[in-house]
Structure 1
């Protein structure tokens, strides 16, 4: 079954525009999900909003949005006021600038979407835009209203289509200095750096997303299957606590192990051709 578009509109660069559709690129819908159950009756539990003072349930029609101005004091916003404040969507993803693909820090990346032409006649204009981005090795910054919010989008060539990644706003990204301020300047021994470089070199590889399994999801699936079949599943052993070791000694031991593995591989007899 063909995927359902999350949004349809027009991608516009200067005077060139084409109808496009936005599709979810990453989703958590395949993860195992649970319902909250009443242990006594086995029935599902429903969530209900209650008044924090009276404890009585509040009907949906009486639930409104409020902004806290001071402890216990709120200004109430009606659904009509909220709707009027949301910018109108003109269904146009207008490109404002181009920049090198690596220009935007990954910390600003929010959610990726696939961007594709929404009808046959649009393909020529779409391919023109895609090839222009790919051959120039640039990304496009665009703005549009998505899901009732004005969003900034980074558009990059990706295979036969485009990837449109919504970006976090500057006020949403916390300053790195707040997390790193406790890290003091440290002078590293050159020998330690050489050993670290050696270990990195021996561990070099390529990214294959299929090789990384979701151990939590797998464990849950095994547990659900075992319970369904009436089997008991053995508890997993507790993770071993890592010992605090001398950094230089740990690097040397790691380098020795890697060298031994490399030597073992080189000593293997090669098959003769023919």
Structure 2
């Protein structure tokens, strides 16, 4: 059973926490800048919709893979409140640090989108929206499934100490599942899988239509995936050191 801990009230002042928050901000900023920037570029090019979706999916896959690899050893490179919640549910981060990470991710997303609006000459950052014919309940379910898939991959390829021959491939595989999920769900719910990724464009553009969908679906999906994987699939063994050697 995962053990969820509150953490230390002094964590925000610890050097390792400060370094982690700085790196998390940088990696999140670059992820959103590239991901949202690719979506804006696809709209500007006005090409085939299928090609545009593939373009956006690949941009997200590549930048997620790289940024997770870059920030992993310092902050864990969550880049996503749903990932942070999933790790919290597995007992891999404290409640206090989870809160700090989520605020950090939201601020980085807003900063990246504001910068995109400036450097593109005032273009609107596209907010995640539901496609015509897709209701809020369907959108929540889609985001739930996609985010569950993402967190299950994170646990299996990065968190699980018995990852075997997948060791070292976690960032790449995480990026690939993000790209695949965008191909699958991008035309229906936008395939956010990430409340912070949705928050930045909505905040800067002022478009909050059905924004709650991109919090409820990902957070439930990420939290449940983290709890299930850590509870049922991570095997922790403890072999006590012998008090004396025998021959």
**TM-score, L = length of structure 1:** 0.17
- Asked which structure has the greater RCO (Cα within 8 Å, sep 6+), the reply is 2
**TM-score, L = length of structure 2:** 0.19
Question: Which structure has the larger Rg over C-alpha atoms?
Answer: 1
Higher helix proportion:
2
Higher strand proportion:
1
